């Protein structure tokens, strides 16, 4: 089983690349951001709880995440593997995942981070704001999301590097070139 974590700053292309990786390797794509947006659209109690955090660019509290992830994973019988897009985002989430994987007789095989500078991220997200109008894609919230990434998510690099699982990938360039680099690392 291939179980890949893909993370990176907001706007680094996690969603874009995860879809392509999932398709190529037959993996189930789990995006926690997509799950929260879906729940919010359906006005479920979880979506309503997540809304305030997402609109401010804050992370949804850790304790809500692991049960969501478990139930998404358990929907699939005998999967080829999973690609986790935007999860984990904090050390406590990574620790919860370390406990969950053996319970599901699985293990993380790769942790990949897309490296993109702040200027590029801001310009991508402002462009997306024009096209899609996501409420968290405005300058003030983007800047908070970047700070949250640096303080809460970037420490995962060390966490997974110590386990020998981490690889950073240049996330600036064409979507196809970045995808080729990701595949090369996955297959190495």
Single out the catalytic residue among 20, 37, 124, 145: 145
Contact residues for ligand B4P, defined by CB under 6 A: 10-16, 32-33, 36, 53-54, 57, 59-60, 65, 86-87, 89, 93, 124, 128, 136, 145, 175, 178
Residue whose CB is less far from ligand B4P, 77 or 97: 97
Beta strands in the chain (DSSP E): 2-7, 28-31, 81-85, 110-115, 166-170
CB-CB neighbours of 31 under 10 Å: 21
Residue whose CB is less far from ligand B4P, 78 or 174: 174
Residue whose CB is less far from ligand B4P, 53 or 159: 53
Single out the catalytic residue among 24, 38, 127, 128: 128
38 is catalytic: no
| Residue of minimal Cβ distance to ligand B4P | 33
Structure tokens at 31: 């995006």
Q: How far, in Å, CA of 46 to CA of 70, rounded? A: 15
Single out the catalytic residue among 14, 20, 37, 124: 14
H or E element at residue 89: none
Task: Quickly list H helices, 113-162.
Answer: 118-132, 139-148, 156-161
145 is catalytic: yes
């Amino acid at each position: 089983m291939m179980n890949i974590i893909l993370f990176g700053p907001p706007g680094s292309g996690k969603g874009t690349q995860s879809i392509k990786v999932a398709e190529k390797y037959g993996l189930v794509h789990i995006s926690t951001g997509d799950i929260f947006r879906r729940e919010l659209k359906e006005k479920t109690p979880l979506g309503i709880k997540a809304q305030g955090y997402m609109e401010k660019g804050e992370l949804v509290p850790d304790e809500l995440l692991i049960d969501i992830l478990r139930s998404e994973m358990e929907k699939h019988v005998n999967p080829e593997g999973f690609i986790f897009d935007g999860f984990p985002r904090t050390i406590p989430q990574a620790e919860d995942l370390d406990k969950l994987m053996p319970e599901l007789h699985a293990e993380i095989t790769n942790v990949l981070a897309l490296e993109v500078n702040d200027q590029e991220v801001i310009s991508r997200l402002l462009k997306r704001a024009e096209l899609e109008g996501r409420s968290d894609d405005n300058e003030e919230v983007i800047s908070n999301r970047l700070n949250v990434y640096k303080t809460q998510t970037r420490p995962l690099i060390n966490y997974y590097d110590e386990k020998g699982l981490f690889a950073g990938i240049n996330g600036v360039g064409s979507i196809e070139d970045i995808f080729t680099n990701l595949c090369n690392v996955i297959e190495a």
